[in-house]
Structure 1
Amino acid sequence: MNLRSLGLYGVLLIGVVVLAACSAPATQEPVAPAPTDVPVVATQAPAPAAKSPVPPTAVSKPATPAATTTAAKPALTCPPATPLAANAPVGARVNGQGISLDLYNRQLAQAQAAMVQNGGVDLKSAQGQEALKSLKQQVLDQMIDDVVVSQQAEREGIKVTNDQLNAQLADMIQLSGGVDKLNEYLTKNQLSLADLCSQIRSHMLGEAMLNRVTAALPTNVPQVHARHILIATAQQAQAVRQQLTQGKDFAELAKQYSVDEATKVNGGDLGWFPKGVMDPQFETVAFQLRASETSQVVQTQFGYHIIKVEEKQDSRPLPPELIQNARQQAFLAWLQAVRETLKIERLVTP
């Protein structure tokens, strides 16, 4: 049992091929470097890498050098971005900007293949059909969110220069083991060089917007250090609570009675936590208690709890994983608010 909320901060998973290399920030006008420590996460469930209607671009190899000379391979650079043709079929529009239907279909096919291969989903089953319906929605939503973020970045004066883009491409070539290895990856995944560069650009814009939106988030917040005893029934929980009133040790009773296997061995110790990570009913009571105070029986979706607050602090540093968590939550809230101000047309149905 895990009391901690499962709400994920999924902001902008732009594509699996850019996760390692894209750490440089986008450029704002006037140029002002953005922080570079923002992770890439998903707005919905992770979506596959976006692919362009253009067939995979073959990267030419240099001519064989003469025996007495050493020739370096020519630098690989991103081609100019090509706008969607005016008459191209679209799967969605964001404020009039079309999203390629061909791109959607190919991205969906890639995601579907991954779902079958990695998840063992039988698409002929009722469960498989439901999973496919959900996947179609996730893929389209991801593509829409990419456009939303790109449009907002443009409004904020954030852009990716060609030099920044090509620098990231060079990093990817090095990380992948060279031009030939990168070419193999692109061909295997039916991606063009233009597709890859588009993903890198989207990643960098998303990273810059994530930094912009979350710049003012606090890293020191009120926290409590608490223990709990989780009981399956209200009657037994009341009986354990009665033992506490008679002076029994909380930690020992947690070891004896708690059904939370993850914490009972430590006397029900949950450690320090801020608001927003525990079950809401549990959290409300925990933050209302004073230090050394024990609650009445509290019911949540997990069962019946008795909570004891060991310590409280009005300002305590968040651990790195919770800072990342908070940033992602804030970005999701911002993204949702922005979506509600835009005209979004979904032209394909799940």
Structure 2
Amino acid sequence: MRRCAVLTAAVLAALTLAACQRVDGDAGRPPEPGDRAVARVDGRPIWTSDVRREAVAQGLIGQGDALEPSSALFSRVLDEVVDQKLLAREAVRRNLDDDPATQRRLEATRERILADLLVEDVIDGAVTDEAIEALHREQLRQLQTSEELKVRLILTATQAEAEAVRGLVAAGAGFAAVAAERSIDPATRASGGDLGWTTLDVLPEPYAAALTTALAGTGPGAVTPPIETEDGWAVLTIEDRRAEAPPTLEQARPQIVRYLTYERVRQLLEQLRGRAEIEPLTGDAAPAAPAAKAPAAKDAA
């Protein structure tokens, strides 16, 4: 069923491209530098770029990923490209592309392809290494890093047990050792209650409030009073604290790319909408339909 759906969409795209393709004597010329023909259908070549583009369209590979002609995936996608060309040509032979409803679908597909090409062209010019690095520098300049805390947890079933383990730690027992022996939290018990490096804003509110109070008092090494939670009674300690490290360029790159892409497309659409005359024809903004004429006196009779 998935293959049928893919082929249906691909056939529509093939018909659309065929409809807008200018027929000339360049059918055998590689469409891209270094491209090579990997098959022919009724004398018309299929290029490696055709197969790669289809694989990208199906989400089988990413844009820019390699697809070796010797691979099984390449052979599979090539078969699908051959199938879609055969189906598209048979559809044309049967004059299915002359149907008005089909023409509308072809035009919609053509517009979608052209819109994608425009977006790709705009992004290529806007999402550059220089733009990414500049935005990262600006983020670092404006960034107000918070503090990270190295926190350990002991979770007990009752308040009395929590007071008891807190007393053991106050008497000199190692917090990690007590957590490994007494904590009922399955996620952290084996690691001595280690919650790792974290920030107050991502911790449950009762934890954050207790640790804030501890930091205002003795700071690192402080042990909080028992905290009631949904899972039991918690005792926390702060082992260490440090300034949160800002994200590196490579860590921030995916988010920056998404932002630059969105922002550039938004600006483009804003410009295009500003130049276009757009008249809504649905909802409250739609013009009222003309009222039906009253029947003439002789018809009413």
Shorter-chain TM band:
0.3 to 0.5
Give the TM-score normalised by structure 2: 0.42
- Counting helix residues as a fraction of each chain, which structure ranks higher? 2
Name the larger-Rg structure: 2
